[in-house]
């Protein structure tokens, strides 16, 4: 029997949350190694386990995989969530890459200064409703249940994750998007997804102050210095 995938990260969402979502959608159980100190991260680096001295890292199929997009593509392909041909894979990549732009904005919110919070929330809502959600609404208006092809793909899983994250910023964000509302309801009811959305699942909650303090210690970050740390945060956090 193959060993369970093992996920190395901190006890929070960050980059690893999309990996958790995709494994859940594939029905794959996994173990987690949750870093708590900077020393634990440095030990992984000293042991040569982190190719770029960054997490997330996933051990699967005898490999130590890093770089979030590479990890997600491998998992999607392995578990039949990456389309049936190159054209479908291209569409999945295009949709997911667009979602990552919005995802990054939300992921970095906890590291913004308090006085910037409302401005940042407004910016996220504006980009979601004016640039990103209209794309997916239009795709789904053609009577499709999924973004690409006729079955669930990585793009659908990531879109549901993103919708729920944006709703945490603005609860009524989908009012002008009826097809996305239907999509959210339909995909949330898929058995594996529904299980992941239940209390007590491996899904992580939004970052609170305690989690933020832990992240700052592990990665040696300072709140409010996003320009100084943007490359590090986007790669590691």
Q: Which helix (H) or strand (E) holds 118?
A: helix 117-127
Same domain, 69 and 99: no
φ and ψ of 65, to 5 deg: -95, 135
Full pLDDT tens readout for the chain, 237 residues: 678 999 999 999 999 999 999 999 999 999 999 999 899 999 999 988 888 888 999 999 999 999 999 999 999 999 999 999 999 999 999 999 999 988 988 988 887 788 888 888 899 999 999 999 999 999 998 778 999 988 999 999 999 999 999 999 999 999 999 999 999 999 999 999 999 999 999 999 998 888 888 888 888 776 544 434 343 443 444
Helix (H, G, I), strand (E, B), or coil: what is residue 53? coil
What is the pTM (predicted TM-score) of this model? 0.90
Same domain, 65 and 146: no
Q: At which residue do the structure tokens 């933020």 appear?
A: 212
The CATH number linked to 117 is 1.20.1050.10
Domain carrying residue 155: 86-188
Fill in the DSSP letter of residue 84.
S
Q: Which residues of 29-44 are buried (b: 16+ CB within 10 A; e: fewer)?
A: ebebeebeeeeebeeb
Q: Whole-angstrom Cα distance, residue 69 to residue 141?
A: 28
Helix (H, G, I), strand (E, B), or coil: what is residue 192? helix
Strand order of the β-sheet with 31-35 is: 31-35, 6-10, 57-60, 63-66
């Amino acid at each position: 029997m193959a060993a369970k995938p093992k996920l190395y990260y901190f006890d929070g969402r960050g980059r690893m949350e999309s990996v958790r979502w995709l494994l859940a959608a594939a029905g794959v159980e996994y173990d987690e190694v949750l870093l708590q100190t900077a020393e634990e991260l440095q030990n992984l680096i000293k042991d040569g386990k982190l190719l770029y001295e960054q997490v997330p890292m996933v051990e699967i199929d005898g490999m130590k995989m890093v770089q979030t997009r590479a990890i997600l593509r491998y998992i999607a392909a392995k578990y039949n969530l990456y389309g049936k041909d190159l054209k479908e894979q291209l569409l999945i990549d295009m949709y997911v890459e667009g979602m990552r732009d919005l995802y990054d904005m939300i992921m970095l919110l906890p590291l913004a200064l308090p006085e910037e919070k409302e401005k940042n929330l407004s910016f996220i809502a504006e980009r979601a409703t004016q640039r990103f959600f209209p794309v997916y609404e239009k795709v789904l208006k053609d009577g499709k249940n999924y973004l690409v092809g006729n079955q669930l793909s990585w793009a659908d899983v990531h879109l549901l994750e993103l919708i729920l994250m944006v709703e945490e910023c603005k609860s009524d964000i989908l009012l002008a998007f009826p097809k996305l509302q239907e999509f959210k309801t339909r995909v949330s009811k898929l058995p594996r997804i529904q299980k992941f959305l239940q209390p007590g699942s491996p899904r992580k909650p939004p970052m609170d102050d305690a989690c933020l303090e832990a992240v700052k210690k592990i990665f040696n970050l300072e709140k409010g210095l996003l320009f100084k740390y943007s490359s590090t945060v986007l790669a590691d956090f």
